[in-house]
Amino acid sequence: MIRGSKHVLKYIAERTIVYIATIFSGVTLTYLIVKAMPVDAVENILFGMIGSVGAVYDPESVILLRKNLYEIFGIGGSPIESYLIFLRRVFTFDFGPSTIAYPTPASEIVFNRLPWTIGLLLASTLITWTVGNLLGVIAGYFKDRRFARVLEGIAITLYPIPYYIMALILIFLFAYLLRIFPLGGGLSIIPEKFDLQLVLNILWHSLLPAASLILPGALGWSFLSSRTLAMQTLTEDYTRYAEVRGLPGSYILRRYVLRNILLPQTTVLALSLGGIFGGALLTEIIFAYPGVGSIAYRAIFSGDIYTLMAVLFLSMIGVATGTYLLDLLYPLIDPRVRYR
Amino acid sequence: MEPSLITENLKAGYKLSTMEFQKEVEIYVDAVSGVSLTLGRNEIFGIAGESGCGKSTLIKVIYGYYEPSLILRDGSVRLYGRKGEEFDIVKLDRIRLQRDVWWKHISYIPQSSMNILNPTMRIRDHFAEILKIHRGMEKDEAYREAGKYLESMGLPIDALSAFPHQLSGGMRQRVVIALALLLEPSLVLADEPSSALDVINQKVVLTLLREKQEELKNTVVIVSHDMGVHGVLSDRMAIMYAGKIVEICDTTEIFWKPLHPYTKALIESLPRLGDKSKRIGLGGAPPDLRNPPPGCRFHPRCPYVMPVCSKADPPLREVKNNRYAACWLYSETVEAI
Amino acid sequence: MAVAARFMGRIGRLFVMLYRRNLKFRLGFTIILILLILGFLSFFSPTNTRTWYVVPRDRPPSLEYPFGTSSMGRDLFWELCASIRNSLTIAFVTAMIASHVGLFLGFMAGIRGGIIDRILMFLTDTFIIIPGLPLLMVVTTVLKRYLTIPFLGMLISIVSWPWPSRQVRSMVLSLRERTFIHTARLSGMSTSKVILRELMPYVLGWHLVNFTNTILFSIGTESGLAILGLSILDDNTLGVMIYWALNWGYALFRGIWWWLATPVVTLVLTFVSFYLVSIGINEYVHRLVR
């Protein structure tokens, strides 16, 4: 009567197909947008790169740069040809050489910085989601008490504030006024060996950037949606019946309310991934945190379009993959998905 | 008769705020107006009446489960456990009720089991949590007890590892009944236990209730608007109208010889085998409980209405052996003045 | 024309009612009004806010210069007014385009269902996957010299339309199943009449909410781009002010905090006020749907 595995396999297969299809269409859409750029604008980039101070390119390099540029922007050749070339480049992560560190390939530069960004993102998102859920449930249960109202007020203020503005405020308060935290950077000691001191130093530098990402979430979108869901769940028949059965309040909050908002909250998380990613990039820039964001900043500064494209596609794949992984978690969380 | 539940002059209702002429006003809806009942051990007691008569509110008050707008105005509820423990439900606070009384000495079977079980918890966990929290059992022991218990109830073992959405409606209701009887409370309140089910499952559920009561010899209160259910299950019955109990007696007597005019109308409206005459319903509608009529609340619709009926509310008096009726037809009019 | 006038009238009445009843709306709307006034004042600015060294540099806030002056020699008060005006203009352009595109597509998807719904939803979901900021980074880098205030607004709308589309669609879907639609259909009303008469009031409410949220999103995105140096750096927007303060003036390092604080505080106020307005309308719509 209860054999769920076949159903789950079907679900995984379905989600995987959607994942691949989404990435594909995302890449295609980007191709169309990029192809819509006027050709002389693209040419200008080339001139900008060549003419930028301190850059010395021999004629062969210029030809190479132009070739890469044209292929990435789908200029030249028949539409199908340029599309296929574009696809090949994207899926082999070949975006040409970067100009901020010529001739190192653009994708290599981005990949080098990726661990910092992923570390920051993972940690912040996890903390945001967990703390937001817990606080939301508590605030939803005690909704008439003063502290819950205060939390709601704080959340309404913090929620619309973009992560980088939060970063600016935090820098101003804690690195400038109060001088507790460092103004930026990833570490302040030379990494000779991988020991506890190094780890702590990294963590210390990550604190403010992480806080910029966590605060508008744990006391923002995550908290607010958790609270709304919790208030809804508290009026459900099964929660009321749990009270009737003499089960204590704390147990009900945990097993009946929290447990049942996990699924919709995962959906909220999946939808927010794109925004969090973008916010993380900007926050990194403000804190001079050595992640993908800082690379993107330097690329913008020197007009390095190759690196920017690498960042774009890497983030697209990253966000899509993150959403996909979250999708795969659904059967684990909700038995209604696991079993027919 | 050794009592299992005594309620005295219960008065409860709902405080609501509504808009009247652009202003917000607070009104009181009188749902339970002076209900006194004594229930004995080892009996199935039925409460019948149409929707809105207050039977669900009465159940909630007996249980002690108050929602934000439900308030108790007067009266007392005394519950007696299996070993004679006495609980003054009205005076106990929620924490004590949760910890000591609910589910152990009194339990509740709700009307619809559609959404009544936790969708993210397996059936066996529903049973196990009760055993863990109320009896202090360890998880493995609780699972074993749950398994044995379900078997004894005639429910398939497969159901244990299922999630609520995987079970049919009838199966869910049986699980809910099993949950309610798990700790063998001395009083079980069942609110329309079969109304949401198809006829086949109705029979299964009602049979289950009857059998379990005979086995445990506890008190079961069946609330239902369906007289057929009472005919099958209830030993004794109370008829409720507009927040008041208008008649109490043995079920068979109610069917054969109802005393109160309202009961008479109820019985008369039931279809009978072989009797093809047209069923006559009762004219009018139940009163608005925000503003109940003076005197007897049934008097506007009563075919036997007398002048005194609109002036004074008839008390519930013993008319014959253990038969109670609240009607001026059976009380000395002298007492009314 | 008449339809538009009646439309504006209805919205006006809605705002008045919300202002009276809803505290959050009142607060947010008041702040927005102040911002709008400041923006309007910018047309009367006595100093030029786009050239450099117009007034003495690095003066802290005083009576003469209410918000101080920057290292670029600009009166921060008037620069702020101009920035508010431009930022709000960009946001307005984005909201007009994106929320209406989203309204149209979401409505189509919800009402028609079937294959059209699936196609539109696939399109929408794909766009949601594309991370907005990196895409805009590429686009604005290439189109840097073509950027004007309205054009920037249009560009941002490319990444803003999916959210309203989804919202409208789910609202239409949940309303579609309501009895009153079936009743209207069965009573013989044509489909378009059904749509206009019955669904519009609810959808309009949501549309307003989406409009406000898009404004929020757009201001946020433009400021983000500006900090990267990808906005219109020789004009004034709130984000551009921050850019110059951070990158050219090193405002924090040199202790000229008022240069950074002015745009940041204003931005925060802008965000919070629009969000409050959004919640206010949201609460009202929810009560309607009940």
pLDDT at residue number A39: 77
Whether residue B144 lies within 8 A of chain A, CB to CB, comes out as no
Question: Kind of pairing, strands B219-224 and B43-48?
Answer: parallel
Picking from B166, B184, B202, the residue at the C-terminal end of a domain is: B184
User: From the list C126, C139, C271, which residue is nearest A29 (CB)?
Assistant: C126
Among B134, B152, B184, residue at a domain's last position? B184
N- to C-terminal Cα separation, chain C: 32
Query: What mean pLDDT is reported for chain B?
Result: 87
Residues in chain A within 8 Å Cβ distance of B179: 245
Q: Are residues B135 and B96 in the same domain?
A: no
Q: Does A3 touch chain B (CB under 8 A)?
A: no
Burial A58-77 (b: 16+ CB within 10 A, else e): eeebeeebeebbbbbbbbee
Give dist(CA A89, CA B250) in Å, integer.
87
pLDDT given for residue A17 in this prediction: 92
Q: What are the CA-CA distances from residue B147 to residues A154, B138, B222, C34 (Å)?
A: 49, 14, 27, 68
**What's the pLDDT at A129?**
93
Q: Is the pLDDT of residue B333 over 70?
A: no
As averages over each run of 10 residues, the pLDDT of chain C (290 residues) reads 72 79 85 89 82 81 82 86 92 94 87 84 85 90 87 92 87 71 62 64 81 93 90 89 83 77 91 91 75
* Interface contacts A/B by beta carbons within 8 Å: 77
Could you give the 3-state DSSP secondary structure of residue B54? Answer: coil
- Any domain includes B303: no
Q: How far apart are CA C88 and CA B132, in angstroms?
A: 60
Using CA atoms, how far residue A289 sits from A172, A206, A279, C137, in Å, is 16, 8, 13, 19
Are the CB atoms for C40 and C89 separated by under 8 Å? no
Give the per-residue pLDDT at A1.
38
Residue type, C19: Y
Whether the CB of A260 is below 8 Å from some CB of chain B: the reply is: yes
Task: Report whether C71 contacts C256 (CB < 8 A).
Answer: yes
Number of H helices, E strands in chain C: 12, 0
Tell whether B189 and B175 lie within a shared domain. Answer: no
Is residue B229 in some structural domain?
A: yes
Encode pLDDT of C149-206 as tens digits. Answer: 899 999 999 999 998 898 888 888 877 766 556 666 666 655 556 666 667 777 777 8
Measured distance CA(C229)–CA(B251) in Å, rounded? 86
Does residue B310 lie within any of the structural domains?
no
CB contact under 8 A, C122 and A25: yes
pLDDT in tens, B250-283: 998 888 888 898 998 888 888 777 777 777 777 7
Q: Do C137 and A42 touch (CB under 8 A)?
A: no
The confidence score (pLDDT) of residue B131 equals 93
CA distance linking residue C195 with residue C189, whole number of Å: 10
Q: Please determine, for residue B85, whether its predicted confidence score (pLDDT) is greater than 90.
A: no
Structure tokens, A140: 């939803």
Does B20 share its domain with B57?
yes
Do B146 and B233 reside in the same domain of the chain?
Answer: no
What is the domain extent for residue B32? 3-105+185-294
Distance CA A88, CA A90 (A): 6
Tokens 């209405």 belong to B305
Chain A residues with beta carbon closer than 8 angstroms to that of C272: 156-157, 160-161
Q: Is residue B175 situated within a structural domain? A: yes
- Residue contact C252–A171, C-beta within 8 A: yes
Shared domain for B65 and B211, answered yes or no, is yes
- Same domain? For B263 and B242 the reply is yes
DSSP H helical segments within B136-276, as ranges?
139-152, 169-181, 199-216, 227-233, 251-256, 261-268
Q: C213: closest CA among C271, C155, C260? A: C271
Edge to edge, the sheet with strand B70-80 lists B23-40, B3-20, B70-80, B86-88
When divided into structural domains, chain B yields a total of 2
Helical axes B123-135 vs B169-181, angle rounded to 10°: 10
Ramachandran category for residue B154: left, alpha or beta (phi over 0 → left; psi -120 to 50 → alpha): left
Please give the pLDDT value at position C132. 87
What pLDDT was estimated at residue B39? Answer: 92
Interface pTM (ipTM) of the complex? 0.87
Q: Are residues B218 and B276 in the same domain?
A: yes
Residues within 8 A of A (CB atoms), C 257-286 only: 257, 260-261, 264, 267-268, 271-272, 274-276, 279
Is residue B179 located within the same domain as residue B212? no
φ/ψ of residue C97, rounded to 5: -70, -60
Q: Are C142 and A23 inside 8 Å of each other by CB?
A: no
Is C199 in contact with C205 (CB distance < 8 Å)? no
How far is it, in rounded angstroms, from Cα A119 to Cα A162? 20
Contact B101 A246 (CB under 8 A): yes
Residues B130 and B20 in one domain: no
Q: Do chains C and B touch, with touching meaning 3 or more CB–CB pairs less than 8 Å apart?
A: no
Q: Is residue B60 part of a domain?
A: yes
Q: Name the band, by pLDDT with cuts 50, 70 and 90, for residue B336.
A: very low
The predicted pLDDT at position C178 comes to: 66
* Residues in chain C within 8 Å Cβ distance of A172: 252, 257, 260-261, 264
Cα C201 → chain centroid = 22
B23 within domain boundaries = yes
| pLDDT, average across residues B300-328 | 86
Q: Which of A235, A228, A237 is nearest to A261 (CA)?
A: A228
Q: Are B191 and B73 within one domain?
A: yes
Q: Which residue of A has its CA nearest to B107?
A: A245
pLDDT digits (tens, 9 = 90+) for B188-223: 999 988 788 888 888 888 998 999 999 999 999 999
Contact A316 C134 (CB under 8 A): yes
Contact A285 C227 (CB under 8 A): yes
Q: Is residue B129 part of a domain?
A: yes
Query: Considering the entire predicted model, what is its pTM?
Result: 0.85
Q: Which two tokens stand for residue C160?
A: 């803003």
Q: Let me know: does A296 contact A307? Beta carbons within 8 Å.
A: yes
Q: Report the alpha-carbon distance of residue B240 to residue B45 in Å, rounded.
A: 13
Distance of CA A249 to the CA centre of its chain: 36
| Cβ-nearest to C137 among A23, A300, A320 | A300
Does B47 have pLDDT greater than 80?
A: yes
User: What are B5's strand-pairing partners?
Assistant: B39, B79
> How many Cβ atoms sit within 10 Å of the Cβ of residue A89?
18
pLDDT over threshold 50, residue B135: yes
Contact state of A165 with C275 under an 8 Å Cβ cutoff: no
Identify whether the C-beta of residue B221 lies closer than 8 Å to the C-beta of residue B237: no
Task: Choose among A30, A33, A161: nearest Cβ to C271.
Answer: A161
Q: Which residues contact C254 (CB under 8 A, 6 or more apart)?
A: C71
**Six-digit token string for C206:** 């949501």
Contact B240, B225 (CB under 8 A): no
Do chains C and A have 3 or more beta-carbon pairs under 8 angstroms? yes
Q: Name the residue in chain A with its Cα closest to that of C264.
A: A165
* Residue A103 preceded by cis peptide, ω within 30: yes
Indicate the angle between helix axes C114-129 and C162-176, nearest 10 degrees: 150
* C-alpha separations of C81 from C42, C57, C254 in Å: 5, 18, 24
Q: How do strand B23-40 and strand B236-241 relate by DSSP bridges?
A: unpaired
Residue written as tokens 């990613």? A277
Length of chain B (residues): 337
Same domain, B287 and B193: yes
Q: Is residue B112 part of a domain?
A: no
Q: How many residues does chain C have?
A: 290
From CA A243, how far away is CA B65, in angstroms rounded? Answer: 9
pLDDT band at B107 (very low <50, low <70, confident <90, very high): very high
3-state SS assignment for residue B154? coil
Asked if A248's CB is within 8 angstroms of B99's CB, the reply is yes
Per-residue CA distances from C252 to B132, C55, C78 (Å): 60, 21, 21
Cβ contacts of B108 on chain A, cutoff 8 Å:
244
Res A2: pLDDT: 42
B123 neighbors B208 (Cβ within 8 angstroms): no
Q: What is the CATH number for B214? A: 3.40.50.300
Which of C221, B229, B297 has the alpha carbon at shortest distance from A279?
C221
Give the mutation candidate from A312, A317, A319 for the C interface (greatest C CB count, under 10 A): A312
The radius of gyration computed from the CA coordinates of chain A, to the nearest angstrom, equals: 24
Contact residues for A216 (Cβ-Cβ < 8 A; gap 6+) = A158, A159, A161, A162, A163, A166
In whole angstroms, what separates CA A31 from the centre of its chain?
22
Does B203 share its domain with B285? yes
pLDDT at C185 (0 to 100)? 62
Domain limit, last residue, from B132, B158, B184: B184
- What is the C-alpha separation between C166 and C124, in angstroms, rounded? 8
Q: How much is the pLDDT for B267?
A: 86
Per-position pLDDT tens, chain A of length 340: 345 577 788 888 988 998 999 899 888 888 888 888 887 777 777 777 776 655 667 777 778 778 888 887 877 778 888 888 888 888 888 888 887 777 788 888 899 889 889 989 999 999 999 999 999 999 999 988 999 999 999 998 899 999 999 988 888 888 777 777 776 666 666 666 677 777 788 888 888 888 899 999 888 899 999 999 999 999 999 999 999 999 999 999 999 999 999 989 998 898 888 888 988 999 998 888 888 998 898 888 888 888 888 999 999 998 899 989 998 888 888 887 777 5
Q: Is A339 on the interface with B (CB under 8 A)?
A: yes
Q: Measured between CB atoms, which of A42, A176, A305 is closest to C252?
A: A176
Lookup result for tokens 């923006």: C39
CA distance C281 to chain A (A): 15
Cα dihedral value C174, C178, C183, C184, nearest 10: -40
Is residue B263 within 8 Å of B303, Cβ to Cβ? no
Q: Which residues contact B72 (CB under 8 A, 6 or more apart)?
A: B10, B11, B12, B61, B66, B90
Q: Decide the pairing of beta strands B106-109 and B187-191.
A: parallel
Q: Are C257 and C251 in contact (CB under 8 A)?
A: yes
